[in-house]
Chains A and B, each alone.
Chain A
Amino acid sequence: MSLSILIVDDEPHIRLLLQQTLEELEDEGVELLIADNGEAAIAIIKQQKPDLIFLDVMMPKMNGFDVCNAVKNELGLSDVFVIMLTAKGQEFDKQQGEKVGANLYMTKPFDPDEVLEKSLEILGMS
């Protein structure tokens, strides 16, 4: 089964930038999945079981912590690597992130080189 990455963010420009950053991986056959809210993300996760999720924290309906908690603790997908994305200036609640089992967090504006490098590493492609 091919590898896949899920991008979850309510802001269209962040989705677009992440997608473009990971274009190189797409050319290598990695499938890029997109969701613009937490609930849509859960639906995709259940169906496709992505290998890596970029997850925005502040989203309407269901926030990033709830999505992460669902992935790691309720859906039994603890081996999915979750990277939380948080806007610069917002204090990322590390404790809550740790509690729900997030693997890593990055601040926005994110560094595209770092995102690509980290993704390659996590998917074992570097």
Chain B
Amino acid sequence: MKIKLKQILRFPEIASIIDEILKLNSGSISIFDHEGNCLLGDLQALHTETYPILLHNQSIGWVEGDKEAATVASLLTYLVNREWERKTLAHETLERYKEINLLYRISEKLSAVLDHKSLALLILQEAMQAIRATGGFVINCHQDDEQNQQCEMIVVAGECSQLSYPLSEKISEAIFDFLQPEIINNLAYDFRLAFMASQISALLFSPLKHQNRIIGFIVLFSTKPVSYNASDLKLLTAIASQAANAIENIRFHEYRLQEERIKSNLERYMSPQLVQAVINSKDENLLKNCRKNLVILFADIRDFTTKCEELPPEKIVEYLNIYFEEMVNVIFEHGGTVNKFVGDMIVCMFGAPASLTNCEQRAIEAAIGMQNRLQHIPNHWIRDNFHTGIGISSGEVVVGNIGSPHHVDYTAIGDQVNVASRLQSLAKGRQILVGRSIYNATQNDFSFKEVGIVKLKGKKNKIEVFEVLY
């Protein structure tokens, strides 16, 4: 920090004090700066004595004159030292002021960034500028399925690319065990990082922490000799903390988007309440293929093909959509999951993906509900022509995402699926037919009529058929 005598003498108050001193003693003085330039008084005057003006015991000028020159030199020495202190304080304050500005600027910019890479780059550039670094990088850390820490480089800036090997990876390995921000001003003396001392002079880094978990690191380094200090590290830590929060925000945002996508896919198959239950469930295997006891329900419009000939196809599609919407609502109301539509047929199940209690009762209530709802659709053509037969069966099936990579259905495969389908094909319009397992589970809750024993196509075993009376 430079203190110039010339600047101090420019203060009017100081000039007038010196003037007063001279008047009191009726003497004359000359003031010179350290280069010998005369700043005040007569250059030609012959003075006997010379008194230095000192800043930290070093001369920054002198006063020539008689005895009053000593007083002026002491005064100026005092003022120069005070000015130096004032400037030091001002310098320090300005540095802090710049830091506040930097953090303010970063937080303003951060709110506009929505991806990891641009965010990391922004943070890195700002930090490099503020902390006199010639290069730096940001690493992302996360745990893999086997609970091992995995690190990946998000972004590099500055001189990283000019170094002779993938330095950033080596540094990541070396610093990974550090849990706290750290400065390493002389790499040669640090056994963990000594291997890169020929390329890097000093380095400082801070972990990016979110809720006490390390989610990454920000690393700055200098290839030029530099000595990083505690305030550099403090600033980097503050930047790192802002960065960590912003990174978590982005992660959360991405997670939410993904959740929304899953949710909207699931809502095609089941009620919004059931979707929420699936999302809230901690069971990650919920949608994976597994054996499960389920109730399967098939519903199909009788003589649909003949009905189709009576109306233009556009009208049929319109009516089918009204019909499906009403039926699906009833199924959802009873906790069912729609499996698929095949032509005019609806296939649905109770008990997957989320387990349900009283699946058999729910299925019969849904079936009765469907038949009743159909009678109240506010369209007389639909009411008069769409007569649905429903078949219900239960048992162990394999359920999960089944299909090719291009088209996957959440569906059930197994004997009982075929049984339910067969029961449905036997049912006349407005009839609900069920198998023995359903009858056993619900005989006390509903009225049934025994229909008889039927042989399934391609099956040795015959099935007992019951009709639900409603």
Contacts and interface: CB of A to CB of B under 8 A. Distances in A.
A19 B97 CA distance: 13
Interface string B65-104: 0000000000000000000000100110110011011001
Nearest to A34: B11
The prevalent SS among residues of A at the interface is helix
Contacts of A110: 101
Given A17-B97, A109-B97, A27 B90 contact: no
Given A109-B100, A111-B101, A112-B101, A21 B94 contact: yes
B105 A17 contact: no
B2 interface: yes
Contacts of A112: 94, 97-98, 101
Interface residues on B, range: 10 to 19
A19 B90 contact: yes
Most buried by B among A20, A23, A26: A20
Q: Give the interface SS of chain B, mostly helix, strand, loop or mixed.
A: helix
A120 interface: no
A20 B105 CA distance: 21
Interface string B1-20: 01000010000000000000
Given A20-B87, A27-B2, A113 B98 contact: yes
Contacts of A26: 7
Contacts of A104: none
A13 interface: yes
A87 interface: no
Interface string B335-361: 000000000000000000000000000
**Minimum-distance CB pairs A-B, first 7:** A20-B90, A20-B94, A16-B90, A111-B101, A112-B98, A17-B94, A17-B97
8 contacts: A17-B90, A17-B93, A20-B87, A20-B94, A27-B2, A111-B101, A112-B94, A112-B98
Given A20-B87, A109-B101, A112-B97, 7 more contacts: A16-B90, A16-B93, A17-B93, A20-B94, A23-B87, A112-B94, A112-B101
